[in-house]
Amino acid sequence: MARLPPFKVPRPTKFLGFLSLRNGTQLILLAHVINKVSGFYGILALFTGYPISWLQLSMYIYSLVNLFIAVYLSEHVKAGSAWHCIAFAQLYAVDSVINAAYTCFFAVAWFMVLASSDNKSKAPGAKTIDATSGFTSPQYNVSHVEVSASPAGMKGQDAIASGYPATGNATGGEGLLSALMGPGSMMSVFIICAFVALRFYAVFVVMAYARQMLHHHIQVSSTHNYNLYDGSRSSDLAENPFDEHKEDGQAWKGKLGRFMVGLGPNYWLGRDEEDDIWMRNMGSKFKRSGDQSPSVGERERRRRSGTGPSKPLPE
C-alpha cells in the first residue's frame, strides 16, 4: 500500500496576496492586541454587579494575560527578532485554538437559549445571554394566541385573547435544530466559520514570517557562512541557533527557544526550494568572483597581440 505524503504546513509568501509578511504580521499583531483589550471591560463588569459565568470570567482573565505577553513581544516582533517572532507565532496559534473553543461554547449556548422554551438552559453563559438579549424571556411565554371576537351593543366589538402555553423543553433535538437552521441563524454560523477560517490563515502568515526571520538569523549568525545546513547534524535541517553551545541557547530564553523549535523542527529548520535557489545563486556568484585564471583562448589572444607575460630569459 502506497504511503500518503506527509502534511505540509502552508507557507504563504504574501498577506492577502499583496502585502509583505512583515506588514501582514504587524497588522495581525495590532488586531490581536485590540481584541485582547476586551478583557479589561469584562473585569470592570464585575464591579458593576453584572452577571458573569465562570466561563466568561476565565476568558477575560486569559485575555488579560495574553494581552500583557503580546505587548511585551510587539516591539521585538517589529524589529524582526527571531526568538520573539517564534514566540508570538506559537502564542497566536495556541490562542487561535483556545479562541475557537470559546467561540463554539458561546455559539452553542446562544442557540440553546434561543431554542429553550422554558428559559432553563444549562449551557455555559446561558444566564447572561438570557438576561441581556432582551427577547428570550418574554412576560408571557406562549406558543400561539387565539382571539375570539363578538359584536357589542355599541360600536365596536368584544374580543377575548387566549394564550396557549408553550410545552416541552427544546434545549436539544428538534428545538435546537430549528433554532440552528433558521435563516438568521445560518447567516450567523456562516459568519462565525468565515472569521475562524480567516483567523487560521493569519496563523499561517505569522508562522511563515517567524520562519523567515529564523532562517535570516541563522544565515547571519551561522559559523558556516551562506549555508544553512553545513552546521547541522542533518542535511535536511538547518543548524539550531538555540543549541546549548551557542550564544542564543543560554539561560531561560535558550531553553524556551529549543522547546519552541523542537515542537516542529521540520517546519522551522527544514529545507525548502527557496533556500536551495538562494544557495545556488550565492555559490555561483562566489565561484565567478573567485575564478581569476584566464581561459586558453584568452592566453592565446594575449600571446599573439604581444600583451602576454614576458618570455623567460635564456640561460
Highest mean pLDDT among 20-29, 221-230, 244-253: 20-29
Give the whole-angstrom CA distance, residue 69 versus residue 71: 6
Provide the pLDDT for residue 233.
Answer: 54
H/E stretch holding 58 reads: helix 54-79
Burial class (CB in 10 A: 0-12, 13-18, 19+), 103: middle
E strand spans, 166-272 = none
Question: pLDDT tens for residues 55-73?
Answer: 888 888 899 999 999 999 9
Q: What is the Cβ-side half-sphere exposure of residue 254, based on CA atoms within 13 angstroms?
A: 12
The residue among 160, 180, 60 whose CA lies nearest residue 116 is: 180
Burial class (CB in 10 A: 0-12, 13-18, 19+), 280: exposed
Question: pLDDT tens for residues 131-182?
Answer: 555 545 555 555 555 555 555 555 555 555 554 455 544 444 455 566 566 6
**Residue 64: which residues within 8 A CB-CB, separation 6 or more?**
36, 39, 40, 43
Question: pLDDT tens for residues 87-127?
Answer: 999 999 999 999 888 888 877 777 776 666 555 555 555 55
- DSSP letter, residue 30: H
Task: Quickly state the pLDDT bin for 24 (edges 50, 70, 90).
Answer: very high
Contact indicator for 11, 212 with CB cutoff of 8 Å: no
Q: DSSP per residue over 84-149, as a string? A: HHHHHHHHHHHHHHHHHHHHHHHHHHHHHHHH-SSS---STTHHHHHHHHSSSS-SS-EEEEEEEE
- Of the listed ranges 82-91, 120-129, 213-222, the least confidently predicted one is 120-129
Tell me the backbone φ, ψ of residue 314, rounded to 5 degrees. -70, 145
Which neighbouring-strand residues pair with 159? 149
Give the whole-angstrom CA distance, residue 34 versus residue 296: 68
Burial class (CB in 10 A: 0-12, 13-18, 19+), 33: middle
The residue among 277, 260, 276 whose CA lies nearest residue 268 is: 260
Which residue matches cell numbers 423543553?
169
Greater confidence (154 vs 269) lies with: 269
Q: Nine-digit cell at 209? A: 514570517
State the helix-helix crossing angle for 82-115 and 126-133, rounded to 10 degrees. Answer: 70
Contact indicator for 148, 162 with CB cutoff of 8 Å: yes
Give the whole-angstrom CA distance, residue 239 versus residue 250: 16
Task: Quickly state the pLDDT bin for 278 (edges 50, 70, 90).
Answer: very low
Provide the pLDDT for residue 273.
Answer: 59
First to last CA, the chain: 79
Mean pLDDT in the chain? Answer: 72
